[in-house]
Amino acid sequence: MSSSLQAGSESSGCPKQPPLTTTGVAPWGFQGSRGSGPLAPTAEQPPARRHMQELQAFREDEDEEAGAKEKSGIERVHTYLKVLCPDVSVDATDNMPWQAALMAESPTLLPTLKFHQLVFSHEDIGKGAFSIVRYARAIDKEKTQSQWPEYAVKVIDTKTMEDLGYEASVNREICVLRMLSHPGIARMVSSFRWRDGAYLVLEYASRGDLHSILVRMGKLEECTVQFFLGEVIAALNAIHEVGFVYGDLKPENVVVTSSCHAKLADFGGCRPLTREARERTQHSLLRSLRSGDWRAADAAENPLVSEEAYAVSSDDSRVEGTTMYLPPEVVRGGAPTLAADAWALGCLEYQLLSGRPPIWVESECEEDLRSRIVSFSLDLASEALNDLSERARGLASRLLEPDTAQRLSVVGAASAPFFEGLDVFALYKKARGPDLPVFEKASAPAGDERWQKRQFSKIWTVMPLPQDYALPDSFGDKVACTLILETDTECGTPFADESWALGREATFARSNSQFESL
């Protein structure tokens, strides 16, 4: 500042200039009359002055406690850290709106998201046969990086997928994700193509999956299981209402959000059951994905399937699931139905409460496990169910019923005594779910360590059952098939293969007799 300006300010009788900060004039720097406006002083003390008073109070408390009780050095450090920490009076969700949107009734879609607008982490969340799930943040130029929304991005290698013949399965997954908007689903907010990959941007659950939680905690409290299982029932019911079976329910596919709500993930095992659901999977949504290149035009994707979409074969009879959670009728070769999801729900309930699956074998052979599932009966499992409460045991026994006609349905489980006084279809409206403790070391449940191994999905072809074959209908006194009656000449005459076998036996006998004569 020049000397003329300094002299002018002093001679004009103006008061001393207020202090400056990085964002402008500090409002508490004004000493004049209290006016209105953004620069008007407030009754609140400046952060620096208030912080000095807190430190002074900390020193006074230290002096008072010095004579009464000698505190250790680490205790004094902890007390001092509490003084240094800022007063968090605002809810964290105000700075992280995407976390609050996780349990909204409809997802926040990003129809024009591009690849260059995502920042990926070096560590992957999960990996499959032809896809990788990566952690990413969407860039928001108006906010700091810590406030950028978090997502789980499923990157599908389209070339590997086509070589393995999984295009129909991936197409069904995209179809289901576009149809579902229930809060109990890890919903898809955007999708696009970039280079040789297809990118599905999904909601991110920061607390991990239930399998990881079980490994750390061993088992869960019954009130916690009620909440998580209730939200799983509501999500399964939403899938069933659009005409699909989930097909692969297990702890690894149930993820927990930052607010401790449960969501279903990984819809590769979904299969259509109704005619409308099958028609929706007739078109390849995978091939019609918009481009995610930054040079492409911002064209919002249409959630409905257009007639111009590429056709895809729907004759894929393969199904996907995890052996440990399959019902007996599917292990025998049948296709999964809504009853299969109910059986897996019973397995999930039992494992969350006890820390181990209801059906287990000591060997590593999968055939032994399949045999145990087929021969499963409630009488043999009654001893294991005794570890559960009466209400939990009643629900598990009705869901793990081998007879599909007697098995409790998923929607029927919502009104079971286990959920008495709890509306499972309104749990997503709660601000938070049950708090889960954080352990520094994993506490393994008692028993076989293989209970803690992650169970991976498998794809197989459904084998036709004997009852799937039926004779043609008869017409009057004639049957549809043509009967060829045996003639008198053919009666008693051996077939060609039998005569050949008889001649071979005679030749073999003659050669043996000649060998013995020598």
Mark the binding-site residues for ATP, compressed into ranges.
Answer: 154
Whether the CB-CB separation of 322 and 461 falls below 8 Å is answered with no
Dist. CA 487–CA 110, nearest whole Å: 77
Amino acid at 437: P
Give start and end residues of each alpha helix (H) in 103-221. Answer: 158-164, 167-179, 210-217
Exposure string of 431-450, with b = 16+ CB inside 10 Å and e = fewer, is eebbebeeeeeeeebeeeee
Picking from 465, 182, 228, the residue whose alpha carbon sits closest to that of residue 353 is 228
The set of residues, in sequence order, having a beta carbon less than 8 Å from that of 46 and lying 6+ positions away, is: 26, 28
Picking from 358, 322, 333, the residue whose alpha carbon sits closest to that of residue 247 is 322
Q: Point out the annotated binding site.
A: 154
Helix axes 378-385, 338-354, angle to 10 degrees: 30
Using CA atoms in the order 10, 11, 13, 19, what is the torsion angle rounded to 10 degrees?
Answer: -20
- Reading the block at residue 15, the tokens are 């008061």
Gyration radius (Cα) of the chain, Å: 34
Dist. CA 324–CA 212, nearest whole Å: 17
